[in-house]
Structure 1
Amino acid sequence: MPPLIFSLQLAFTLAVCAFLIVPVVLSVLAGLTVNYFVGLESGLTLKWVIEVWNGYRDTLFRSVGIALACLALTLVLGVPAAYALARAKSRLGRAFEELLMLPVAVPGLATALALIASYGALSGFRTSWAFILVGHALFTLPFMLRAVLAVLSAIDLKTLEEGAASLGAGPWQRFVHIVLPNCRDGILAGSLMVLTLSMGEFNLTWLLHTPLTKTLPVGLADAYASLRLEVGSAYTLLFFLMIVPLLLAMQALARPRRRRFIPADDTDLAPLALKP
């Protein structure tokens, strides 16, 4: 590659990175400065972070809890649904798949209004965090479904299952030992999207929450609207501190597993078997 073209590509990449990263850095610095309008000359402080932690830490833990519950719910519903759709390659299956994609196409506010109209009369349910969880699950389920379905559609699932069935594996054994290991990458990709989308979801949550069930994005919006800019920026900093470890953990799980060749049986002269 000519040096000029490489230099231009590098400069463009650095410009894009700066465009994306600089606002984040400035927001973090705003939450650590004594007075944002004066700048760093006013000094650095953790006062705003401590103030946000003391006043809003319940929203942080609630958001993490809802995100993890949403992940569990989408795994239980999305993976079997993707498996069923991968096996049922028919017009009805494709129509059902498109039906499951509707929550993504419909605005979040419309979905929230539909949930309120349907279940708003259930006072105990309406005022609990489970009501927000249902909205998040509706919104994130298509992302889990699509990620897993894309992986299952790329492999010869029928042949693998037929081979396992010929060795005596039942439906449950085939699902656990054949389907799940082969769609591991899709499950991890879907899990990453579900966690990040649930943690940052605002439109649905804005209508579904109550004063006692605020989540992190709602509290962040309140902080920016009604408090000092430094408080809102400190809230953003805490958001990063909560979400980044989750993302790093998911990325670590998504790394390919190392495999090595070992003899299938020390007393057998059979060829080497591939084992994890």
Structure 2
Amino acid sequence: MKRRSLFWVQLAATLFACAFVTVPILLSLAAGVTEDYRIGLTSGLTLRWVEKVMLEYGGTILRSVGLAVACLGVTLVIGVPLAYALARSGQRWTRWVEELLMLPVAIPGLATALALISAYGTWGGLRTSSLFILIGHVLFTLPFMVRAVLAVLTAIDLKTLEEGAASLGAGPWQRFTTIALPNARGGILAGSLMVVTLSVGEFNMTWLLHTPFTKTLPVGLADAYASLRLEIASAYTLLFLMLIMPLLLGLQWAAKRLESRP
């Protein structure tokens, strides 16, 4: 009897927590497709706010997607080999490298952005290009890729597997592509999921790095809220979720597919 009562109490607490988080989001999304958010859905449904966002902020959406894809590509090229090198080394200095990689995460994004501007802001047209934002995103997301891949590689006996492959004549590149990468695919996908999510939604660093011509989706969303245009901001939020959810679901589907393979 006590266990049954405890179950219902836990269920009620869980449902309350879920409602506390999701109800404001649903109300915000509803405001983006209603004629008058103050009246609610009874005022009628409309897509004119969504159309207005596409006309005024469509470039920020495409830019955010492009930055996320580019950021994922750079972190894969840099992060996976770096995690492999750290996993193979096993030396004391590898712990220091890991801690240094986590500095951009520990330091506030505004401080990192200010450091980038101070160091590289005068390099030709870099300051006014999307490449500058991409550099900031890579600095912020690279630790998540490295940590995800490194966790998987350190969980297996990588040294023994590589010694066996080497005894059969496999070179360094062959050992990396046939042993490290297949075993690290779960970590690579987990890291990819985090990189894409964080890049699309990153605001603190991007807010200081962007220019009027290089706005991203979160910066445009902040501008819409700051101007008290609640319908526009809510429609912007709706488009943001429509953009990020397929990416997340696609990566999760790919992860399950790879995990099911022998």
Q: Taking structure 1 as the reference length, what is the TM-score of the superposition? A: 0.91
- Structure 1 counterpart of 2:230: 229
Following superposition, the deviation at residue 258 of structure 1 comes to: 3.4
Which secondary structure state, in structure 2, belongs to the residue aligned with residue 134 of structure 1? helix
Following superposition, the deviation at residue 36 of structure 1 comes to: 0.9
- Structure 2 counterpart of 1:258: 260
Q: Which amino acid aligns with 1:258?
A: S
Following superposition, the deviation at residue 227 of structure 1 comes to: 4.8
Larger Rg: 1
- Structure 2 counterpart of 1:265: none
| Aligned residues of 2:186 and 2:259 also touching (Cα < 8 A) | no
Following superposition, the deviation at residue 6 of structure 1 comes to: 1.9
| Aligned residues of 2:83 and 2:146 also touching (Cα < 8 A) | yes
- Structure 2 counterpart of 1:143: 144
Q: Per residue, is there more helix in 1 or in 2?
A: 2
- Structure 2 counterpart of 1:269: none
- Structure 1 counterpart of 2:97: 96
- Structure 1 counterpart of 2:169: 168
Distance (Å, rounded) in 2 between the aligned partners of 1:139 and 1:104: 6
1:16-31 correspondence runs (5 A): 16-31=17-32
- Structure 1 counterpart of 2:191: 190
| Aligned residues of 2:104 and 2:140 also touching (Cα < 8 A) | yes
Asked if residue 208 in structure 1 is aligned to residue 209 in structure 2, the reply is yes
- Structure 1 counterpart of 2:132: 131
Following superposition, the deviation at residue 129 of structure 1 comes to: 0.4
Stretch moving more, 8-17 or 108-117: 8-17
Distance (Å, rounded) in 2 between the aligned partners of 1:162 and 1:181: 16
- Structure 2 counterpart of 1:241: 242
- Structure 2 counterpart of 1:70: 71
1:5-84 correspondence runs (5 A): 5-84=6-85
Q: How many corresponding residue pairs?
A: 260
Following superposition, the deviation at residue 236 of structure 1 comes to: 0.4
Distance change >3 Å, CA 96–CA 258, structure 1 → 2: closer
Q: Is there any run of 5+ residues in structure 1 with no aligned partner, and where?
A: 260-275
The CA deviation string for residues 138-165 of structure 1, in whole angstroms up to 9 with x for no partner, is 0000111111111111110001111111
Which secondary structure state, in structure 2, belongs to the residue aligned with residue 123 of structure 1? coil
The CA deviation string for residues 212-244 of structure 1, in whole angstroms up to 9 with x for no partner, is 100000000011111520000000000001100
| Aligned residues of 2:32 and 2:238 also touching (Cα < 8 A) | yes
Which secondary structure state, in structure 2, belongs to the residue aligned with residue 45 of structure 1? coil
- Structure 2 counterpart of 1:268: none
Q: Which amino acid aligns with 2:204?
A: N
Deviant stretches of 4+, over 2 Å: 256-259
| Aligned residues of 2:149 and 2:184 also touching (Cα < 8 A) | yes
Distance (Å, rounded) in 1 between the aligned partners of 2:174 and 2:10: 50
Query: Aligned-residue CA RMSD in angstroms?
Result: 1.2
Distance change >3 Å, CA 147–CA 258, structure 1 → 2: closer
Distance (Å, rounded) in 1 between the aligned partners of 2:31 and 2:10: 32
